[in-house]
Amino acid sequence: MRFPQYRPRRLRKNEIFRKMIRETHLSPDDLVLPLFVRPGKQMRQPISSMPGHFQISIDLLVKEVEEAKSLGIPGVILFGIPEKKDEMGTEAYAENGIIQRAVRAIKEKVEGILIITDVCLCEYTSHGHCGVVRDGKILNDETLDLLCRQALSHVKAGADIVAPSDMMDGRIGAIRRTLDENRFEDVPILAYAAKFASSFYGPFRVAAESKPQFGDRKSYQMDPANGDEALREVRLDIEEGADMVMVKPALPYLDIIYRVKQTFNIPLAAYSVSGEFALIQAASQLGWVDGEQVIMESLIAIKRAGADLILTYFAKEAARKLAKSYE
Ligand code: PBG
């Protein structure tokens, strides 16, 4: 038999060849940095489950956003730890809630970076669920009104994009209508469209102090076993007016990212969640993997699968590394 004509190794000979035929490229433009904001001044409280990340007060948050901008990161997404939590999550939609104040402070000082806000009640409710609870049930339609008020209050404070992560049915349409009725028709919605009931959120719930006090989130977040249903969820959110959709988590759900991109061809975000961060960070600190390489490989894999945008706790590290490789 003749030796094969095609020798793939010819084009792998050295980095210049590899660079020339590389199919997927990562840029700081693809990254969004999640940040946790808490009350207080000069506070930078380490998050035990996420080494290298902090709950930060608004004054320091502004500096953090400036740093992200200087690294070429186009957006941050904010999560709030409120002064106090209650049954209805009132600080979620209070004019002077933690997120509303944070957004105003950033908008006063920093230009040229997008502020995305997470719209959900779980960080603000005493029971830790993403919706209104009655008789142990998470009520869907009663929750929509509160989510609309929350989204509107974020946008009034100056948020550039709102990102509902609660997984209640019909919330994208309800929020879109509310924003439109209030003359915010040009503020986009990034829908957490296919959000799975994942154990990879564990470290985040420590960071945001938002662990459900009873039960779990399986009656509203998706079953990890379902791919077709993820496409139905995404379709619904697009029909209701989502401008961008998200798949979450990212690495264990690359098939979903791929299918959503192939099917809908709409701007697609992937959230590489706290548990993905924690696995890489822990193994790297133990010296079991080369952290920097694993981070870059993971991000390129998520992008290759079809994500246009990656929310990642490694955004700053990755942006720094990318800057170095352009030098
Ligand atoms: C709020 C929300 C969660 C995350 C983002 N928004 C937690 C949850 O649904 O329990 C998780 C992000 C992460 O793990 O990094 N609903």
User: Is the residue at 41 inside a domain?
Assistant: yes
Q: Which residues are registered as beta bridge partners of 247?
A: 194, 270
Name the residue at shortest CA distance from atom 11 of ligand 1.
201
Candidate list 195, 261, 303, 316, residue with the active-site label: 195
Q: Is 321 a catalytic residue?
A: no
* SS3 of the chain: CCCCCCCHHHHHCCHHHHHHCCCCCCCHHHEEEEEEEECCCCCEEECCCCCCCEEEEHHHHHHHHHHHHHCCCCEEEEEECCCCCECCCHHHHCCCCHHHHHHHHHHHHCCCCEEEEEECCCCCECCCCCCEEECCEEECHHHHHHHHHHHHHHHHHCCCEEEECCCCCCHHHHHHHHHHHCCCCCCCEEEEEEEECCHHHHHHHHHCCCCCCCCCCCCCCECCCCCHHHHHHHHHHHHHCCCEEEEECCHHHHHHHHHHHHHHCCCEEEEECHHHHHHHHHHHHCCCCCHHHHHHHHHHHHHHHCCCEEEECCHHHHHHHHHHHHC
260 inside domain: yes
Cα-based torsion angle of the residue sequence 255, 261, 263, 265 in order, rounded to the nearest 10 degrees? 180
Let me know if 195 is a catalytic residue.
yes
- Provide mean pLDDT across the span 13-28: 97
- Dist. CA 122–CA 144, nearest whole Å: 14
Is the residue at 2 inside a domain? no
Q: Mean of the pLDDT values across residues 21-45?
A: 97
Q: Quote the pLDDT of residue 3.
A: 76
Is residue 211 assigned to a domain? Answer: yes
For residue 201, the ligand 1 atom closest to its alpha carbon is 14
- State yes or no: pLDDT of 174 exceeds 80: yes
Give a yes or no: residue 237 inside a domain.
yes
Q: For residue 71, what is the domain's CATH number?
A: 3.20.20.70
Q: pLDDT value at position 1? A: 63
Query: Looking at 19, 211, 218, 248, which residue is catalytic?
Result: 248
pLDDT digits (tens, 9 = 90+) for 216-270: 999 999 999 999 999 999 999 999 999 999 999 999 999 999 999 999 999 999 9
- pLDDT, tens digit, for every residue of 134-165? 999 999 999 999 999 999 999 999 999 999 99
| Structural domains in the chain (count) | 1
Per-residue pLDDT of 306-318, as tens digits, reads 999 999 999 999 9
pLDDT for the residue 202: 96
pLDDT computed for residue 327 by the predictor: 64
What residue numbers bound the domain in which 264 lies? 8-326
Q: Is residue 185 part of a domain?
A: yes
In a domain? residue 229: yes
Nearest CA to ligand 1 atom 6: 165
pLDDT score of 167 more than 90 = yes
| pLDDT confidence tier of residue 4, bands split at 50, 70 and 90 | confident
Give tens-digit pLDDT for 63-116. Answer: 999 999 999 999 999 999 999 999 999 999 999 999 999 999 999 999 999 999
1 within some domain: no
| In contact, 250 and 279? CB cutoff 8 Å | no
Site to substitute for ligand 1 among 37, 81, 195, 201, most atoms within 8 A of C-beta: 201
What are the backbone angles phi and psi of residue 247, rounded to the nearest 5°? -110, 140
Question: How high does pLDDT run on average in the chain?
Answer: 97
Q: Is the CB of 205 under 6 A from ligand 1?
A: yes
